[in-house]
Structure 1
Amino acid sequence: MRASRLLSLLLLLQTRGRMTARELAEALEVSVRTVYRDVESLSAAGVPVYADRGPVGGYQLLGGYRTRLTGLTTEEAEALFLAGMPGPAAELGLGTVLATAELKLQAALPTELAVGSGRVRDRFHLDAPSWFRDSEPTPHLAALADAVWADRLVEVRYRRWKTPREVTRTLAPLGVVLKAGRWYLVARADEDVRTYRVAAILELTVLEENFTRPTEFDLAEFWQSWTDQYERSVYRTEAKVRMTAAALARMAYVFPPAMARGARQAAGAPDETGWLHTTVPIESIKHGHTELLKLGAEVEVLGPPELRDRFTATARALVALYPAAEPDQVPNRR
């Protein structure tokens, strides 16, 4: 275990350059004291690692030093092949590159590792898009990815929901994200970092001008923070309802995750008839009406009043469309 950690520390310094003891500790999930001991062990073994003192100091390898200790374990080789995403890679313009890289990797692996990695591809497959949704056309994705790699500014004509519907912006593209089969661009516009649907980009021009990528920016961290904030901002109100326990369980399959999760967390205990009280996060009265209709007669809306009034009107309209059958019209089921 310690030998593996020492190798990881060495590869971190080789790939990232100067790192502080705290940054190394966080990356390796150990204490700072453990990092100190590991650096001393590497130095004793002849690895030219040295420390710069001061507030901007840290550990780094002597210039030009490269380790050849890059052997893969069976689990690491299998994980590399599991990480392959042929569909998204092709959309980024990297489909052929990925296939070639996998062939080279497999050819370079020892026989036992090559066989194991091939078994992973035979048994696991990633299908990124969600159910019942066609993939969005993203004709500008490959060019956008090139601009991200090269730190080049882009000018986009973009379609949005609010007016004016079409706007032109100059953006510094920081990264692209694939979320449930949809591609998003994370870019700096003026001084703010924002997200854009790649499918909504109508025109894209990669400019000659480069931009300086902020050193502190972390794409994964930003995306997690943005999605959390987005979910909180979307569901601006809530519906108070009475529903069956069976309907609450079914919400996980027919409702957006945030709505189903919120309803479960707020749910009281079912009474003797199997009904319970809870609150459901909703975007608006119209949205709540559309979504909660999925539960039919297994939910009663208690508030807000505007939402209950909508359900009352819907129920009356349904009665008008489907009047109760007269007694002599009910089929004899004997």
Structure 2
Amino acid sequence: MRADRLVSLVLLLRQRGRLTAGTLARELEVSTRTVLRDIEALSAAGVPVYAERGRHGGFALLPGFRTELTGLNQDEALALSTASSGRGEQAFGLGTALTSALRKVVDALPEPHQATASDAARRFLVEPDTDLLSRPSVTEEVPATAMTEVRRAVLAGHRLRIRYAATDQTPRWRTVDPVGLVTVRDRGYLLALRAGADRTYRLSRVLAAEELPEPAQRPDAVDLDRLWRERCARFLSGDHIAVLVRVRAERREDLLNSVVALRGAESDTEGWVRLEVTFQDLRHAEWALWQLATDAEALAPASLRCALRDRAATLVGRYAQS
């Protein structure tokens, strides 16, 4: 890990010029003291790092210094391969590896193109923390050490022990055979087998994990996309409620953010769309549609329409008294 950090430190100085110890510490996610020790190690190894004193001082490399530091390690290559899938690098704990890998990619470019690439990166912003309505994006957190163990077991094909907190249950340890990792709308899942039966675990509920030495009992080849579709179909066939609803087009995503699944969609009258969606239960559906007020209408089932009507009548009665 320290070797990768030293490489990243050199690449930062090559690409951005003089940087303070504080800036380097923030970029590398370490303490200032660690940065100073790394600078000393680079100097001792013959890398021409020098310090500039004063208000605008910092550390820099001698002009013209260049060395081959662009080899990607396994995590960095994996991070690049998942970067196109939205926030996959965050869901699988690969954010730091992705940052390091991209530094190496930029450094491998011919010098005339490095500035262009750096400027281009500043022109794109993917999935900011909030949307135009200042609503924060919620990315589920997974302990870094647990995520590392899960990822290693999946890639190595080893069995895995996880301390899992299922809904309304006391957390307990389970031994599983990991099959693959999936991220959907900022939620990560571990697909696994337990005693030969299919299991799907929410990564945010994995409190701790331990990769075991014995090999996992799983198929040698896997079609993860097909497997995910099959598990989704089984999940939706459980005890859920299907709802037919019409919603204003501009509120469509607000509704979909609260549903379990979208089963169908078609245009309705101008400015409206008709959706067939699935909720956990009647109470969940009532809550979600109530948030949209007059921008949505439940068309079926009748029990949901009655529940919304009764809630609205109660509200009307309360305010009519004044």
Whether TM exceeds 0.5 here: the answer is yes
Q: Residues of 2 paired with 1:108 and 1:277: CA distance?
A: 49
* 1:215 has 2:212 as partner: no
Task: Give unpaired runs (5+ residues) of structure 2.
Answer: 1-79
Cα offset for 1:234? 7.5
CA spacing shift, 1:184–1:129, aligned 2, 3 Å: farther
**Partner SS state of residue 214, structure 2:** strand
CA distance in 2, matches of 1:211, 1:123: 44
- Give me the whole-angstrom Cα distance separating, in 2, the residues matched to 1:117 and 1:286: 50
Q: What residue number does 1:132 align with? A: 136
What's the % identity of the aligned pairs?
25
Provide the C-alpha distance between the structure 2 equivalents of 1:294 and 1:204, rounded to a whole number of angstroms. Answer: 38
Equivalent position SS for 1:161: coil
Per-residue CA deviation, residues 153-200 of structure 1 (Å, 9 max, x unaligned), is 1112212226x5545321122222333222221222232343211111
1:151–1:211 contact (8 Å) kept in structure 2: yes
- In structure 1, the partner of 2:62 is none
> What's 1:253 paired with?
253
1:158 aligns with 2:167: no
Q: Structure 1 pair 159/302, CA: closer, same or farther in 2 (3 Å)?
A: same
- Per-residue CA deviations over 1:261-301 (Å, capped at 9, x if unaligned) read 66742x6557xxx9x99674342322222122234345555
Contact 1:154/1:205, CA 8 A, preserved across alignment: yes
Matching of residue 142 in structure 1 with residue 138 in structure 2: no
The 3 A distance-change label for structure 1 pair 81 and 112 is farther
Which residue in the other structure is 1:176 paired with?
181
Deviation at 1:320, TM superposition (A): 2.2
- Structure 1 segment 281-320 matched on structure 2, within 5 A: 281-283=277-279, 284-297=281-294, 301=298, 303-320=300-317
How far is 1:310 from its partner? 1.6
Aligned positions of 1:176-255 closer than 5 A: 176-211=181-216, 214-227=219-232, 230=235, 236-239=241-244, 247-255=247-255
The residue matched to 2:126 in structure 1 has which SS? coil
Superposed CA RMSD in Å reads 4.1
Q: Distance in 1 between matches of 2:306 and 2:286?
A: 10
Structure 1: runs of 5+ lacking an equivalent: 1-79, 326-334
Task: Give 1:314 deviation, angstroms.
Answer: 1.1
Which of structures 1 and 2 has the bigger CA Rg?
Answer: 1
**Distance in 2 between the 1:115 and 1:88 partners?**
27
Q: 1:111 to 1:227 in 2, by over 3 A?
A: farther
CA shift in 2, pair 1:298/1:126, >3 Å: closer
Count of paired positions:
235
**Change over 3 Å in CA distance of 1:191–1:297 after alignment to 2:** same
Whichever residue aligns with residue 139 of structure 2, its letter is S
- Tell me, yes or no, if the aligned pair for 1:238 and 1:280 is still in contact at 8 Å: yes
Task: After TM superposition, give the deviation of residue 126 of structure 1 in Å.
Answer: 3.1
Once the two structures are overlaid, the 10-residue window that deviates more, 226-235 or 315-324, is: 226-235
Which of structure 1's runs of 4+ aligned residues deviate more than 6 A?
84-87, 257-261
CA distance in 2, matches of 1:308, 1:90: 40
Which structure 2 residues correspond to residues 97-136 of structure 1 after superposition, within 5 A?
Answer: 97-127=97-127, 132-136=136-140
Compute the displacement of 1:222 (Å).
Answer: 2.8
Distance 1:203 1:277 in 2: 43
In structure 2, give the amino acid aligned to 1:208. P
Deviation at 1:95, TM superposition (A): 4.7
- Output the amino acid matched with 1:175: G
- Shift in alpha-carbon separation, 1:197–1:129, aligned structure 2, 3 A: farther
Whether the 8 Å contact between 1:86 and 1:98 is mirrored in structure 2 is: no
Query: TM-score scaled to structure 2, two decimals?
Result: 0.57
Equivalent pair of 1:248/1:263 in contact (CA under 8 Å): no
TM-aligned CA distance change 1:118 to 1:133, over 3 Å? closer
SS at match of 1:175: strand
Per the alignment, residue 76 of structure 1 pairs with none
Q: Letter of the 2:304 partner, please give it.
A: L
Change (3 A) 1:113 1:81: farther
Distance 2:100 2:182 in 1: 23
2:190 is matched by which residue type in structure 1? L
